[in-house]
Amino acid sequence: MRVGIDFGTTNSAVAYYDGAKLVSIQIDPRTDYVLPSLIYIDRMYQSVVGYEAAQAYLRRESGRRVKWERRYLGEIEIMVAGTGGSPIVYNEAVIVMIDTAANGRLIQSIKSALRDPKYDGTYVFDRFYTIDELIAIVLSELKRGAEQRLGGACTEAIIGRPVKFSDDPDINERAEEIIYKAALRAGFTDISFELEPVGVSYLHHISSPTRHTALVFDFGGGTLDLTVVRVGGERRPEILATRGVLVGGDDLDRRIMQSLLKYFGEGSTLDGYPFPHDILDLLLSWQTMPEVSRPQHMNTIRDLKHAASNPTAVAALETLVSENVGYKLFSEIERTKIDLSTSIISRLEFRHGPIKIREVITRIQFEAMIAEEIAQMEAGINAVMADAGLEPADIDVVLRTGGSSLAPAVADLLASMFSAARVQQVEPLVSVVGGLAVAAHAEAARRAPRYAVRYATPAQPLIENIRTERGGAYGAYTMRIDAACYSDVNITVTQCPVMLSGLPAIKAADADHTAESPTFLRFDLKQPARVYVAYEASAQSRPAWLRAFTRENAFIAVKGEWVEERLLQLHSKEFPAGTVTLGGNQAEGASSDVYLQYLVVVQATPAPAR
């Protein structure tokens, strides 16, 4: 069965359409037909998702003290451009901070992290999770619920995505590919993507007997997606223009939080100087609040308690960041925002130790707070209309959807531009996933993404005929956290860049780490690829054959029976399809203190985008 999946910043959902009936899958009876995009991972690395994750976090983490400890992982070599064309090479220690008092960790808004091209994942205690692995936890729960409800295997899916994750097209493709590899990890085998607002248009299309022009206004937690589309009648929806605006419901929450910063030190002074804004900026999202509890900021806060003009506010700040109550505060902010959708006034009250917030927020005040976001929405609508070559009078209906679209200021904006009579509120939480299910049935977006060639399948392996001069046990496996990367010793991967997660790799024999031949390892590539070699970062020098590779400022970490992780520096080189020959671990030029056989990962080169 082919399902539609809406992987959202705030909520996720799955649905199935058989051509006559739309089935929305209820994953958790406590949350209607959506699954909150929350993951809680405990000390045993067991995870729960959705409402259960929120309850576990509130029960086990809220109110406890944070305790940070430094963990040293090792050193890697960093190379940067220097003057005169000569590179500068230096060693950099890899150190992570661990909250050792935590019982677990809550992960929220994973989708928003896809905007950051430098974000590979995060540590939960001593274990690193790549971002695709985190997303796969949510997608696996959706797949499980769909299969249980529908009574059969669900391996085919259309997954919704925003019009854009970023203004940078490379970041856009990277983000989509990460979701793709997460879906593979969750057990889907036939995966395609459709723009989320296009999904909404499919749902509207099947109930529209006559052809007309619609503007889909999909305002979710992370982004605003706009699509101008002709729908209805016998023909498929015709997309005239799409635009993505990088503003979402989370930005509205941040505006309310900005108004509360006075409770945590904003406006107070320190010897005539303003309160440190680098600290206050980190309070605008509950996910970044724990950063303020790190030692460098806590030392500043302790100094401020004695010298600031408002020590009560500083005490409240210390409690907020050191006792894990940021999530509870933002839950109250979210409740207030939702309340203002139906009421002209809302009370925001929050108490915890020295934190004593009591605010009355009117709808007029809230709309003044979000005026900049409303202006961005208006500019986006004007831009997508220009892209479509249409005027507002040409739009027959505006389909307003997404949880954040319920704000009256949003309805007022659309009414002022198109008239209230043409604005239709669509079910805010399941319209996207319902439309994606319809698109799945119509086999829309069936074409596989161009980067799909990077991911091996039993029918289409990328690496074949692996052989060595010593005849050790070598074979193909999938690179990811916890993967066993050697055939003869118990060593597993503990960290890798997300770009390599899910890619085919060669499982080596570590007994071969003393090999000196310049032609030690050979394997066949089915198509052109970038070959990554992960070589011990602590080595004094690399073998001559490896010097033809580009040294990357990235690494793979592995761990065996020894206490500390070992770091392997990544090197890469492009190869055509055919036979690849790599030298031995200790071939000419290598230092003698190399104790691990290098690892190999293959990233096939997709055809250029058309």
For 419-445, what is the mean pLDDT?
85
Percentage of the chain surpassing pLDDT 70?
93
* Amino acid identity at 193: F
Give yes or no: residues 435 and 457 share one domain.
Answer: no
The number of distinct structural domains making up the chain is: 2
Is residue 413 situated within a structural domain?
no
Is residue 296 situated within a structural domain?
no
| Residues with Cβ within 8 Å of residue 479, at least 6 apart in sequence | 485, 493, 496, 500, 501, 502, 503, 504, 505, 601
How far apart (Å, rounded) are the C-alpha atoms in residues 442 and 439? 5
Alpha helices in 187-294 (DSSP H): 196-205, 249-260, 277-281, 289-292
How much is the pTM?
Answer: 0.86
The two structure tokens encoding residue 2: 């082919």
By the 8 A CB rule, do 581 and 514 touch?
Answer: no
For 148-157, what is the mean pLDDT?
94
Q: What is the pLDDT of residues 119-144, one digit of tens each?
A: 999 888 889 999 999 999 999 999 99
Mean pLDDT across the chain, nearest whole number? Answer: 89
For 299-312, what is the mean pLDDT?
80
How far apart (Å, rounded) are the C-alpha atoms in residues 464 and 524? 5
The two structure tokens encoding residue 283: 């309070």
What is the band of 94 on the pLDDT scale with cuts at 50, 70, 90? low
Is residue 366 situated within a structural domain?
no
Which pLDDT belongs to residue 514? 92
Angle at 50 between CA 44 and CA 56, to 5 degrees: 50
Give yes or no: residues 81 and 179 share one domain.
Answer: yes
**Is the pLDDT at 89 greater than 60, yes or no?**
no
Residues in the chain: 610
Residue located via tokens 């706009």? 226
Which pLDDT belongs to residue 436? 92
**Is the pLDDT at 441 greater than 70, yes or no?**
yes
Which pLDDT belongs to residue 114? 92
Is residue 290 situated within a structural domain?
no
For 251-270, what is the mean pLDDT?
90
Q: What is the pLDDT of residues 394-419, one digit of tens each?
A: 999 999 998 888 889 999 999 999 99
Give yes or no: residues 102 and 8 share one domain.
Answer: yes
Of 63-77, 297-311, 430-444, 548-562, highest mean pLDDT? 548-562
Q: What is the pLDDT of residues 562-604, one digit of tens each?
A: 767 899 999 999 999 999 999 999 999 998 778 899 999 999 9
Give yes or no: residues 197 and 81 share one domain.
Answer: yes
Residue located via tokens 């008239």? 419
Give yes or no: residues 434 and 541 share one domain.
Answer: no
Give yes or no: residues 445 and 496 share one domain.
Answer: no
Nearest CA-CA partner of 475 in 487, 459, 488? 487
Q: What is the pLDDT of residues 10-68, one digit of tens each?
A: 889 999 999 889 898 988 888 778 899 999 999 999 999 999 998 998 888 877 777 76
Pairing, β 599-604 against β 529-536: antiparallel
Give yes or no: residues 484 and 597 share one domain.
Answer: yes
**Is the pLDDT at 69 greater than 90, yes or no?**
no
Q: Write the DSSP assignment of 409-457 as a string of letters.
A: HHHHHHHHHH-GGGEEE--TTTHHHHHHHHHHHTTTT-SPPGGGGGS-B
The one-character DSSP state at 180 is H
By the 8 A CB rule, do 213 and 131 touch?
Answer: no
Give yes or no: residues 544 and 575 share one domain.
Answer: yes
What residue ranges in 100-169 does DSSP mark as E strands? 104-108, 121-124, 127-130, 156-161
For 390-394, what is the mean pLDDT?
95
Which pLDDT belongs to residue 79? 47
Half-sphere exposure of 95 (CA within 13 A, CB side): 7
Give yes or no: residues 433 and 579 share one domain.
Answer: no
Which pLDDT belongs to residue 607? 75
Q: Which of 62-71, 419-428, 455-464, 482-491 is the least confident region? A: 62-71
Is residue 197 situated within a structural domain?
yes
Nearest CA-CA partner of 286 in 263, 266, 257, 319? 257
Which pLDDT belongs to residue 259? 96
Q: What is the pLDDT of residues 292-302, one digit of tens each?
A: 888 878 888 88
Give yes or no: residues 441 and 577 share one domain.
Answer: no
3-class secondary structure, 293: coil
Which pLDDT belongs to residue 75? 57
Residue located via tokens 């940078």? 168
For 273-285, what is the mean pLDDT?
85
**Is the pLDDT at 506 greater than 60, yes or no?**
yes
Which pLDDT belongs to residue 585? 94
End-of-domain residue from the set 421, 451, 481: 451
Percentage of the chain surpassing pLDDT 90?
60
Question: Which CATH number does the domain housing residue 186 bear?
Answer: 3.30.420.40
Dihedral sign, CA of 147, 148, 150, 151?
A: positive
Higher-scoring residue by pLDDT: 427, 408: 408
Name the burial class of residue 464, with classes exposed (0-12), middle (13-18) and buried (19+) by CB atoms within 10 angstroms of its CB: exposed
How far apart (Å, rounded) are the C-alpha atoms in residues 554 and 539? 15
Give yes or no: residues 441 and 567 share one domain.
Answer: no
By the 8 A CB rule, do 56 and 108 touch?
Answer: no
Give yes or no: residues 443 and 492 share one domain.
Answer: no
Is residue 285 situated within a structural domain?
no
Expressed as residue numbers, the domain containing 519 is 452-604
What is the band of 160 on the pLDDT scale with cuts at 50, 70, 90? very high
Is residue 123 situated within a structural domain?
yes
For 548-571, what is the mean pLDDT?
90
Is residue 348 situated within a structural domain?
no
How far apart (Å, rounded) are the C-alpha atoms in residues 64 and 102? 8
By the 8 A CB rule, do 497 and 554 touch?
Answer: yes
